[in-house]
Amino acid sequence: KLVSREFQQENTHVKVGDAVFGNGSLPVIAGPCAVESEKQVMSIAKSVKDAGAKIFRGGAFKPRTSPYSFQGLGKQGLKLLAKVREETGLPVVTEVMDVENFDVVEEYADIVQIGTRNMQNFSLLRRAGKSYRPVILKRGMSAMLQEWLMAAEYIMEEGNNNVILCERGVRTFVRHSRNTLDLSVVPAAKKESHLPIIVDPSHAAGVRDQVVALSYASAALGADGVMIEVHNNPDEALSDGAQSLYPDQFFDLMKKMNAIHAIV
């Protein structure tokens, strides 16, 4: 299998802007759950860049549980992400939900993200495999490691080797967090595969206080990157406000997380 350590012993390095995923560094992706307005993304992008984030995130097409929730700004959101890149120089990552919108997302984004709900959307995976952009492949919320790696295989089999795995928590019986961050999947994935693996503590936790602790844990684990939701006004956020860090909180977290990364 293309995804396996047997096939390729050396770690895959995925380079985006000045970030490298898979070389032992800890690039941080940060930004809001959803792109809401120009003012919002510019404000957050400046804060996260000052704190040391290397890549900006923001959803334009949002996979919401309820059809009545904010669905994202669509193409207008992609244009705002392009403005963020122009203003700050940060590359941007955003989710692609379907084959139909792949061309436009790939045109605007530096990295395309496949969300947890689409991990086994095989036509979307195949289209991502034909993309010239790196892909963040989130783990399905109840996927086994082998299923996740086979999803990555679909992308690689079409010719795109720039795949970054992202653990974002799995569904369990607990109620103290939104999902359960599966810490052990990081070393397990590294053993089985040469692909970089990053952690998204925000969607795992669902509440901001846990995000801080889980980010430190991710750095200690040797993850190849971290993706964190940050909002300039979490109380008014149109999605995932409860798990979004305040900019000051993110700034402090970055210092401590980098210190932890430096000693492991």
Q: Which member of 138, 178, 190, 231 binds ligand PEP (CB under 6 A)?
A: 138
Residue 210 binding: pick among Mn ion, ligand PEP, none (C-beta 5-8 Å cut-off by kind): none
Any contact of residue 58 with ligand PEP (CB under 6 A)?
no
Of 71 and 193, the one with the shorter C-beta distance to ligand PEP is 71
Q: How far apart are CA 228 and CA 171, in angstroms?
A: 19
Residue 54 binding: pick among ligand PEP, Mn ion, none (C-beta 5-8 Å cut-off by kind): none
Q: Which member of 22, 27, 32, 59 binds ligand PEP (CB under 6 A)?
A: 59
Residue 168 binding: pick among ligand PEP, Mn ion, none (C-beta 5-8 Å cut-off by kind): ligand PEP
Q: Which member of 88, 116, 215, 232 binds ligand PEP (CB under 6 A)?
A: 116
Q: How far apart are CA 175 and CA 169, in angstroms?
A: 13
Please, what is the minimum distance in Å from the beta carbon of residue 7 to ligand PEP? Answer: 27
Number of residues in contact with ligand PEP under rule CB under 6 A:
9
Contact residues: ligand PEP, CB under 6 A: 33, 59, 63, 95, 115-116, 138, 168, 203
